[in-house]
Amino acid sequence: MHVPVLLNEVIKTFSPKPNENYIDCTIGAGGHSFKILEKISPKGKVLGIDLSLKAIKKLEKIKKEKKLSNRLILVNDNFSHLKHIIAKKDFKPVHGILFDFGISTDLLKNSNRGFTFIKKEPLDMRFNTKKSNLTAKKIVNNYSQKELENIFVKYGEERWSKKISQEIIKQRKRSPLKTTRDLRRAIEKALGYKFHIKCLARIFQALRIKVNNELENIEKGLRQSFNVLEKGGKIITITFHSLEDKIVKSYFKDNNKLISLFKTPLKPSDQEIKKNNKARSAKLRAVYKK
C-alpha cells in the first residue's frame, strides 16, 4: 500500500479551506489529494496529474466509489504542461499546488521497466511508454563514453562515472546491454572491490532522470505553477535527492514574489521514517505568492 510522505505536514502547511481548489501535479495513488478533498468539501476541487496511465486508471475507479465525479479531475500528462492542462480543464482559481517528486513504490516494483536493479527487467525506465521513444537501453548501447560519463556525473553525482562508462562500452562491444542484470554486471565489474550498492542506485537514478527529462520538467512545472497560482496561494514541493532540491531551492530564492514559509525544509519525523523508510530523504519546501 502506498504511504503518502509528510502527509500531516502538507495538510498543515496548505491549511485547506472549504471550497478552495488545489492541484496535485504528481497525484500517484492519491494519498495527499484525498485528504485535501476532505478539507475542501463541499465544492472544492482537486486537479490530479500523473504521467502513469495505470495510476490514473486506478484513481478513476476510486473516484467513482467515493462519488467524487465533479470534485476530482484526473489527467494523464506531464506537469511540465501545467498551463495547457489548466486552460483545457478551465480549472481556476488555484489556491495551492503540490509537487511530490518521489517515485511510487508500485512503479518500482511492478512496472517491469527496469527502474529497480534488484530484479532482472528490460532496460526501459520510461514513466510513460506512449509519450517517449528514449529508453535506458538506447542510451547505454548508443551514447559515447563521454556522453555516458556526463550523464552519470550530472544526474547521479557518481565519482566513478568514467570507469563505469568505459566498462559499459567494453561490454556492449561483445553484446548489447538489454536488461538491468546486464547493466548491474558492467557496474560491478568496473568497480571491483570499490563497488557499493549506492553506485548502482546512482547510475540507475541518472539514467531514469535522463530518460524522463526529469530536472528540466521540474523547472518548467515550477515556472508555470507560479503563473497560475492565486495571490496568497501556496506551492509545496517534496524532493528526495539533492538535484531536485537544488532546482526547487534556487527557483524559490530567485523569485521575489514567492515568500518561503520555513527557514529550513521540513523533514519526516523518526516515527514516520520507522513506518516508511523510503521517506528518510524527503524534504518539504513551501512558499506563498505575495
Q: What is the CATH number of the domain that holds 232?
A: 3.40.50.150
Same domain, yes or no: 115 and 208: yes
Q: Which of 187, 212, 237 is the endpoint of a domain?
A: 212
Same domain, yes or no: 160 and 185: yes
Q: Which domain holds residue 45?
A: 7-100+215-289
Contacts of 20 (CB under 8 A, 6+ apart): 40, 44, 95, 96
Residue 200 lies in a domain: yes
Q: What is the CATH number of the domain that holds 127?
A: 1.10.150.170
Percentages of the chain per state (helix, strand, coil), in multiples of 5: 50, 15, 30
Mapping DSSP to helix (H, G, I), strand (E, B) and coil, where does residue 156 land?
helix
Question: Would you say residue 1 has pLDDT above 70?
Answer: no
Which has the closest alpha carbon to 241: 83, 50, 102? 102
Same domain, yes or no: 83 and 219: yes
Same domain, yes or no: 207 and 235: no
Same domain, yes or no: 114 and 208: yes
What is the per-residue pLDDT across 2-50, written as a single tens digit (0 to 9) for each?
Answer: 679 999 999 999 999 999 999 999 999 999 999 999 999 999 999 999 9
Strand partners, 73: 47
What is the per-residue pLDDT across 144-188, written as a single tens digit (0 to 9) for each?
Answer: 999 999 999 999 999 999 999 999 999 999 999 999 999 999 999
CA–CA dist 170, 271 (Å, integer): 46
Same domain, yes or no: 115 and 196: yes
Q: Which of 165, 197, 212 is the endpoint of a domain?
A: 212
Same domain, yes or no: 221 and 205: no
pLDDT score of 107:
73
What is the per-residue pLDDT across 231-280, written as a single tens digit (0 to 9) for each?
Answer: 999 999 999 999 999 999 999 999 999 999 999 999 999 999 999 988 99
- CA torsion through residues 101, 87, 225, 14, sign: negative
Residue 1 lies in a domain: no
Which has the closest alpha carbon to 31: 238, 274, 286? 238
CA–CA dist 209, 65 (Å, integer): 35
Mean pLDDT of 277-284: 93
* Residue type, position 151, single letter: I
Q: What percent of the chain has pLDDT over 70?
A: 99
CA–CA dist 3, 279 (Å, integer): 9
CA–CA dist 191, 200 (Å, integer): 11
pTM for this entry? 0.93
Mean pLDDT of the chain: 95
Q: Which of 212, 228, 259 is the endpoint of a domain?
A: 212
Same domain, yes or no: 93 and 219: yes
- Look up residue 199 and give its three cell numbers: 553506485
Same domain, yes or no: 90 and 222: yes
pLDDT score of 2:
64
Residue 105 lies in a domain: no
The secondary element (H helix, E strand) that includes residue 21 is strand 21-24
Domain count for the chain: 2
